[in-house]
Amino acid sequence: MRRIMVFILLAAGVLLAGCRGDEPNNSTLLAPSAVGQTKVTLDGDDFELPTLPPPGEFVAEITNPWLPLTPGKVFHYENETKDGLETIDTEVTTATKTILGVVTTVIRDREYLDGELVEDTEDWFAQDQDGNVWYFGEFSTTYENGLPTGNEGSWEAGVDGAEPGIIMLARPREGVIYPQERAPGVAEDMAKVLGWDRNVKVAYGRFRDVLVTEEWSPLDPGAVSYKFYARGVGLILDAERRNGSGERVELVAIDGIPAEDEDDKTSEAGPE
């Protein structure tokens, strides 16, 4: 999955200090080398990671409260980089793609640098009846001077040993680690639920009780990404640390409506 490269200006430890509680001691609940494991223990209680259900147990719409993806909605993100202004438009299209018998929703990401297209990606998501959002792959094209230069990182579940991953759990539990991408040697992103941040402000608005996850990949050592999700909205902030530096991308508008034309948006809904 293509990551939005972002950086929190504060040190990660300071930024995440608002998360509810400390990081659990059993932080190796599901190591990247054990992605086949489905049952873990959290605070003495058994927790089972979802297994891929049959096609008949998927629903038509993605309504997960942490990642609601309504067809026709467009999320706009910005990031000031040393090379210029990066803008990212994430469109929930009305298109679908059937993979392993599952009808997935096509999510299109277009990334621009100072107005010039540098990457165009289709992601394929689908939600099961329990509310888990599965990731079935992506097709990504990079551009330079208006011309396509490659499709690095593209993968599809069912092709060359790739399997669907989980992009968002139905009921995130602090400390759970889960595979997002399962394409050996191509895309192997992992994620961990860190907790909930009490107060996060981005250009689009201010939110409370925001879900925070950490992402990494064994294929990209030294890079760690933090993602922040507001209930009922979705991804509002994505940050990456790489060798002590990084970048920051944040939500600035939805459906083309800039933040300054909207009332302050405060999410008061807490974790489940």
* 187 within domain boundaries: yes
| Of 202, 1, 25, nearest in space to 90 by CA | 1
pLDDT band at 263 (very low <50, low <70, confident <90, very high): very low
User: Which of 38-47, 121-130, 262-271 is predicted with the least confidence, judged by mean pLDDT?
Assistant: 262-271
* 22 within domain boundaries: yes
* 76 within domain boundaries: yes
* 57 within domain boundaries: yes
Strand stretches in 100-222, DSSP E: 102-113, 116-128, 133-144, 147-150, 155-156, 165-168, 177-179, 190-197, 200-202, 205-207, 210-216
- The range of the structural domain enclosing residue 104 comes to 12-261
> pLDDT tens for residues 145-155?
999 999 999 99
* Look-up of token digits 């605070």: 43
Domain count within the chain? 1
Which SS3 state, helix, strand or coil, does residue 13 take?
A: helix
* 41 within domain boundaries: yes
C-alpha to C-alpha distance for 16 and 21, rounded to whole angstroms: 10
Q: For residue 224, is it left (φ>0), alpha (ψ between -120 and 50) or beta?
A: beta
> pLDDT tens for residues 244-253?
667 889 999 9
**pLDDT reading at 257 higher than 80:** no
Q: Do the bridges between strand 147-150 and strand 155-156 make them parallel or antiparallel, or are there none, so unpaired?
A: unpaired
Specify whether the CB–CB gap between 203 and 259 falls below 8 A.
yes
Per DSSP, 53 falls in state P
User: Which of 54-63, 117-126, 212-221 is predicted with the least confidence, judged by mean pLDDT?
Assistant: 212-221
* 266 within domain boundaries: no
* 5 within domain boundaries: no
DSSP for 106-118, written as a single string: EEEEEEEETTEEE
> pLDDT tens for residues 2-14?
443 333 333 333 3
Two tokens at 210?
A: 């925001």
Chain-centroid distance of CA 108 in Å reads 13
C-alpha to C-alpha distance for 227 and 236, rounded to whole angstroms: 8
> pLDDT tens for residues 160-199?
999 999 999 999 999 999 999 999 999 999 999 999 988 9
Specify whether the CB–CB gap between 136 and 100 falls below 8 A.
yes
Two tokens at 146?
A: 């208006």
Specify whether the CB–CB gap between 130 and 170 falls below 8 A.
yes
CATH of the domain at 230: 2.40.360
C-alpha to C-alpha distance for 128 and 149, rounded to whole angstroms: 35
Residue 178 phi, psi dihedral angles, 5° rounding: -145, 150
**Neighbour tally for 124: CB within 10 Å:** 24
**pLDDT reading at 46 higher than 70:** no
pLDDT band at 89 (very low <50, low <70, confident <90, very high): very high
* 247 within domain boundaries: yes
